[in-house]
């Protein structure tokens, strides 16, 4: 018999936590499901309990989130299902049936309402050499550093268009690592121009601006060069990365590369369920569509945080708060006047943060700066489908049609990594509104025996 909850929240990051906190004091059973062992999401990736990490995530930007995580940990009636992966969410009569998996096997849960706050993931960017050992997304390197103070490499190059790589570089330096160089593909003038068109918005996002400035100071002190207008062209090496080559022809020796061209929403679960999504922006991916109370297009299903578009942790917190109150409102636990009162501040915060997020999107816009893959560059890593094969196929037909012909997106990751690359190729050919791959069960690979009838 499946365990039943009034509400299931997928994701224990800033948004999921904020939703649970917004509902505190009401007599509700809430399950919060997360792939990580401990709450906090990617932004607060916690070290394992048995690790003592000195000065874990110092800095004001993290303090608010740490406080929220602490608050979240004190909530009654919240069941924390850490290390659980959601395999499926399906409508089952009046409620939702969730299938989750952990080390012990499959666990079925039912819930009257579901909030998906699954965060975002690094955009995978194919270029020559990107499948060599030693190439990571910058976010993956950051996750190592945050959770275990582990720096995966001796000499790291960060490359891309997203300003976050400044922070990541500073964190690597603080953890004792060596950053060879931070490369921005776009010229600095393009970044300034974007900020100057919206100076007020830039000012409101001053927390982020200050964090970037602080990171730049750390990098300067450590002698880490930061270059602009320096587009990555190839990554080279035999059995591992030994250097990168820029479009200018310049060569930088390194054993590790972190790519940082942006982030895409984790919207696989809403898409599997048939909730409405929209193209998320220049970096690609799809964002779940919602109304002012974070209701998705499906009754009973709510979405919040970066599943609805990448806008940073504070915006996710605000959306989580709105979702929590919205859920309370719909269930009749909170009345409209109270709901309005409770969310006034979150709403105004959200508006400002969204404006800043749009500005950041312009500053970080990767579209003009993506490296051009070579013919034999692998685009779909699960199925080894290269660029030339896709280029020959993507002249007509949908992403699903190309998938069927080439196997691109048919592997264990279900297209999570290659879908944005393929959609950009279709886009270049004028097929601009492709809905992407049909998202199939299971959300993560799972042993056949765990799904089979016990017999």
Partner 1 sequence: MSKTDVLIIGGGLIGCATALHLARAGASVRLVEAGDINAGASGQNAGSLHFQMERRFLENGAALADQAARIIALNRLAIDEWRGLEVDLGVDLHVSQKGGLMVAETPEQVALLEAKSRREISGGLATQLLDGDAARALCPALGPDVLAASYLADEGHADPRALTPAFAHAAAEAGAVISTRQHVLSITRRSPGGFDVAAKKGDEMETLQADQIFVAAGAWTPAVCALANLHIPLFPVALLMNATERTGPILPQLIQHVGRRLSMKQAYAGNVIIGGGWPSRLAQRPDGGFDLNARASIIPLSRSGNLRAAIDIVPQIGALNLIRSWTGVTTISADQLPIAGAVSRVPGFYVAAGGSAFTLGPTFARLIARVMGGERVEALDVLSPDRFNHLNSFMG
Site map for partner 1, 231-270, x if CB under 8 A?
----------------------------------------
Q: How far is the CB of 36 from partner 1 (least distance, A)?
A: 21
User: Which residue, 1 or 337, is less far from partner 1 as judged by CB?
Assistant: 1
User: Which residue, 50 or 449, is less far from partner 1 as judged by CB?
Assistant: 449
Range 89-118, binding partner 1 (CB under 8 A): 90, 97, 99
Can you tell me the distance from the alpha carbon of 125 to that of 251, in angstroms, rounded to the nearest whole number?
20
Decide: helix, strand or coil at residue 158. strand
Question: How does DSSP classify residue 154?
Answer: S
Range 273-312, binding partner 1 (CB under 8 A): 274
* DSSP per position, 11-32: --SHHHHHHHHHTTTS---EEE
Q: 65 near 40, Cβ under 8 Å?
A: yes
Q: Count how many Cα atoms sit within 13 Å of the Cα of residue 227 in the half-sphere of its side chain.
A: 18
Cβ-proximal residues to 79 (8 Å cutoff; 6+ apart), any chain:
5, 29, 30, 31, 32
CA 323 to chain CA mean position, Å? 19
Q: How far is the CB of 319 from partner 1 (least distance, A)?
A: 28
User: Which residue, 341 or 440, is less far from partner 1 as judged by CB?
Assistant: 440
* Residue 31 Cα distances to 9, 81, 398, angstroms: 6, 7, 38
User: Which residue, 191 or 410, is less far from partner 1 as judged by CB?
Assistant: 410
Exposed, middle or buried, 395 (CB in 10 Å: 0-12/13-18/19+)?
A: exposed
Q: Which of 51, 150, 192, 441 binds partner 1 (CB under 8 A)?
A: 441
Q: How far is the CB of 99 from partner 1 (least distance, A)?
A: 8
Q: Choose among 278, 202, 233: nearest CA to 125.
A: 233
Site map for partner 1, 46-85, x if CB under 8 A?
----------------------------------------
Can you tell me the distance from the alpha carbon of 169 to that of 219, in angstroms, rounded to the nearest whole number?
7
Q: How far is the CB of 409 from partner 1 (least distance, A)?
A: 10
448 binds partner 1 (CB under 8 A): yes
Q: How far is the CB of 37 from partner 1 (least distance, A)?
A: 22
Q: How far is the CB of 321 from partner 1 (least distance, A)?
A: 32
User: Which residue, 27 or 453, is less far from partner 1 as judged by CB?
Assistant: 453
Range 353-382, binding partner 1 (CB under 8 A): none
203 binds partner 1 (CB under 8 A): no
The token duo for 244 is 């990168």
Question: How does DSSP classify residue 295?
Answer: B
Can you tell me the distance from the alpha carbon of 316 to that of 321, in angstroms, rounded to the nearest whole number?
9
Q: How far is the CB of 407 from partner 1 (least distance, A)?
A: 7
Range 381-440, binding partner 1 (CB under 8 A): 383, 396-398, 400-401, 404-405, 407, 410-412, 414, 438, 440
DSSP E strand boundaries for 176-231: 179-184, 226-227
Give contact residues for partner 1 (rule: CB under 8 A).
Answer: 90, 97, 99, 274, 383, 396-398, 400-401, 404-405, 407, 410-412, 414, 438, 440-442, 445-449, 451-455
């Amino acid at each position: 018999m499946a365990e039943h909850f009034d509400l299931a929240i997928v994701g224990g990051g800033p948004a999921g936590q904020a939703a649970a906190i917004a509902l505190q004091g009401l007599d509700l059973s809430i399950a919060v499901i997360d792939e990580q062992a401990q709450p906090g999401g990617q932004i607060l990736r916690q070290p394992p309990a048995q690790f003592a990490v000195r000065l874990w995530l110092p800095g004001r930007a993290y303090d608010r989130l740490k406080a929220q995580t602490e608050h979240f940990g004190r909530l009654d009636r919240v069941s924390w299902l850490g290390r659980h992966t959601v395999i499926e969410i399906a409508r089952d009569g009046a409620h939702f049936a969730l299938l989750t998996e952990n080390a012990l096997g499959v666990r079925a849960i039912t819930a009257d309402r579901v909030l998906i706050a699954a965060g975002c993931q690094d955009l995978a960017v194919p270029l020559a050499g990107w499948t060599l050992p030693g190439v990571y997304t910058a976010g993956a390197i950051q996750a190592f550093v945050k959770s275990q103070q582990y720096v995966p490499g001796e000499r790291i190059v960060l490359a891309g268009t997203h300003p976050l790589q400044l922070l990541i570089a500073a964190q690597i330096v603080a953890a004792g690592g060596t950053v060879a160089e931070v490369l921005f593909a776009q010229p600095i003038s393009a970044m300034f121009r974007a900020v100057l068109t919206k100076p007020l918005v830039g000012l409101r996002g001053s927390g982020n601006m200050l964090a970037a400035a602080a990171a730049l100071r750390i990098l300067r002190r450590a002698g880490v060069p930061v270059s602009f207008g320096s587009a990555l062209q190839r990554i080279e090496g035999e059995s591992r990365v030994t250097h990168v080559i820029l479009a200018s022809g310049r060569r930088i020796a390194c054993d590790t590369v972190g790519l940082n061209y942006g982030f895409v929403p984790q919207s696989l679960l809403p898409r599997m369920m048939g909730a409405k999504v929209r193209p998320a922006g220049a970096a690609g991916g799809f964002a779940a569509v919602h109304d002012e109370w974070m209701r998705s297009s499906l009754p009973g299903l709510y979405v919040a945080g970066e599943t609805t578009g990448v806008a940073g942790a504070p915006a996710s917190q605000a959306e989580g708060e709105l979702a929590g109150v919205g859920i309370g409102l719909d269930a009749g636990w909170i009345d409209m006047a109270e709901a309005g009162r409770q969310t006034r501040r979150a709403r105004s915060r959200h508006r400002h943060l969204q404006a800043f997020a749009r500005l950041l999107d312009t500053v970080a816009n990767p579209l003009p700066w993506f490296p051009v893959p070579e013919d034999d560059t692998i685009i779909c890593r699960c199925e080894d489908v290269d660029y030339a094969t896709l280029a020959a196929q993507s002249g007509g037909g949908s992403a699903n049609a190309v998938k069927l012909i080439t196997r691109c997106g048919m592997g264990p990751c279900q297209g999570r990594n290659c879908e944005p690359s393929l959609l950009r190729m279709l886009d270049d050919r004028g097929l601009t509104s492709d809905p992407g791959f049909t998202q199939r069960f299971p959300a993560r690979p799972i042993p056949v025996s765990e799904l089979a009838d016990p017999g």
